[in-house]
Amino acid sequence: MDKAERRLELLRAARDVFATKGYHAAKVDDIVARASVAKGTFYLYFPDKRSVFVELVDGLFSRLGGAILTVDTQGDIEAQIKHNIRGIVAVLLDDPALTQLLLSFAPGLDPAFAAKIRSFYDGVKTLLRVSLDEGQRLGIVAEGDTSMYATFTVGALKEIFAESTDRGQAWPREQLVEQLFRLLQRGYLRIDRAPEAPVSVPPKPRKTRKKTA
């Protein structure tokens, strides 16, 4: 077997075991058993148990980072946001075990991991907040504390993905994208305003924007 392939096999095995049992309950023995190799083999490919974990999380992080593009306010904002959402959905739902792993990881577990994961989310939130600030200037984001909006959004996304992953993808992918977008839109996005009008926001006719909300 090819060296790179065995490495991947071990990563996959580790991912599955971590996702199933959690980091601490996952023993190296479990991982190698799942990969059908001897214990020592594990250490040919990774310096220690922790580093596989870190590599898995890092991989997901970077794929997520790659999926999120900064919104260009000159272009079609709705399309870009949906594209970002779609990207995130794709990355996360393509590897539910890994998503489980990421979402199930929490501060307090291990200071070293916590810092790494927190900094990732902080990065996402900052990205988001900056976009929201810009949006406020353009009048397409409601007034208010944008950093709280960002926190709110990230939390909502995390929970929805956690649930999706948990339940083995109850919601079809594109529907998830649509619903997520509408949540954001009805929440604080003001691409189409008339936000306080009870219902039926006509999506397209954007020219009539009012301040009042």
Partner DNA sequence: AATGAATGAGAGTTCATTCAT
Partner DNA sequence: AATGAATGAACTCTCATTCAT
Q: Single out the residue of 8, 38, 69, 115 in contact with DNA (rule: CB under 7 A).
A: 38
Listing DSSP states for 27-53 in one string gives -HHHHHHHHT--HHHHHHH-SSHHHHH
Among DNA, a copy of itself, none, partner that 172 touches (CB below 5 to 8 angstroms by kind): none
Q: Please report how close the Cβ of residue 147 comes to a copy of itself at its closest, in angstroms.
A: 9
Q: DSSP code of 207?
A: G
Task: Give the footprint of a copy of itself on this chain (CB under 8 A).
Answer: 18-25, 100-101, 103-111, 114, 118, 139, 142-145, 148-149, 151-160, 162-163, 166, 171, 179, 182-183, 186-188, 190, 193-200, 206, 209-213
Specify the stretch interacting with DNA by CB under 7 A; choose among 26-34, 118-126, 145-153, 157-165.
Answer: 26-34
User: 15 or 193, CB closer to DNA?
Assistant: 15
Q: Which two tokens stand for residue 90?
A: 């794709």
Q: By CB under 7 A, is residue 28 in contact with DNA? A: yes
The 3-state DSSP composition of the chain as helix, strand, coil percent (nearest 5) reads 70, 0, 30
The Cα–Cα gap between 7 and 15 comes to: 12
User: 21 or 27, CB closer to a copy of itself?
Assistant: 21
Q: By CB under 7 A, is residue 37 in contact with DNA? A: yes
Among a copy of itself, DNA, none, partner that 50 touches (CB below 5 to 8 angstroms by kind): DNA
Q: Which two tokens stand for residue 74?
A: 């000159």
The Cα–Cα gap between 54 and 184 comes to: 31
User: 42 or 192, CB closer to a copy of itself?
Assistant: 192
Which amino acid is it at 31? Answer: I
What Å distances lie between residue 72 and 22, 39, 75, 120, 194, CA to CA? Answer: 39, 50, 6, 22, 23
The Cα–Cα gap between 96 and 82 comes to: 21
User: 48 or 174, CB closer to DNA?
Assistant: 48
Q: Please report how close the Cβ of residue 204 comes to a copy of itself at its closest, in angstroms.
A: 13
User: 28 or 162, CB closer to DNA?
Assistant: 28
Q: By CB under 7 A, is residue 43 in contact with DNA? A: yes
User: 21 or 62, CB closer to a copy of itself?
Assistant: 21
Burial of residue 9, with CB atoms counted within 10 A of its CB: 0-12 exposed, 13-18 middle, 19 or more buried: middle
The Cα–Cα gap between 127 and 196 comes to: 28
Footprint on this chain of DNA (rule: CB under 7 A)? 1, 3, 6, 26-29, 37-45, 47-50
